[in-house]
Structure 1
Amino acid sequence: MKDLSGLMKQAQAMQQKLADAQSRLAEVLIEGTAGGGMVTVTLTGGGDLKKVVLDESLIEPGEGEVIADLIVAAHADAKKKLEAKQAQMMQEAAGPMAGLMGGMPGMKF
């Protein structure tokens, strides 16, 4: 039974580490860019769009479609970076248990 007790303690410690990592992730801001930096978007750790910055050269009549496309591309860039950061933080929090958790529902590594 000692092994089971030890395993349960490890699982509880890992669960706390994962909860701590999720709390830290909520405070993270990730930027994505498009158009060579002409559009920058900022996402929160939860994936919410926080900020959009447009280069003033884009703000001309007839550029609406280009701006829209660049915002979507910048958002996709930020989302990809956010997912990588989430995976990294969860992997670090799980430590040696990461291999076991990868097969559990709701856990991405």
Structure 2
Amino acid sequence: MGFERVCTLAEVPADEGLAVTVDGIAVAVARDGDEVYAVQDLCSHAAVALSEGEVADCQIECWLHGSRFDLRTGKPVGPPAIDPVATFPVEVRDGAVYVDASTTLNGVRPG
């Protein structure tokens, strides 16, 4: 498995997530300034796509109930979510974004 090319850096919007699939796992790729992050594309509260929500201040917000998750840690930073989402390693090489969904950075298993 390992890192898989998922998109170009230019395809990742500045204020929302981009939905991709890596090794059969739904992943939301998001930017905060020059940093790129990958989190499981499934809100731990309502099981809807996080990639459809807004990104700001290194957080991604669920569009349905407003839960917010830290892009670095996957931890919820705004209710009603109480469980974290999985975060994945990201590399940017020559303008392309690569995600490794075979491991998580925060120990949360995608579900």
* Shorter-normalised TM range: under 0.3
Structure with greater proportional helix content? 1
Q: Which has the larger radius of gyration?
A: 1
Structure with greater proportional strand content? 2
TM-score normalised according to structure 2 size: 0.26
TM-score normalised according to structure 1 size: 0.26
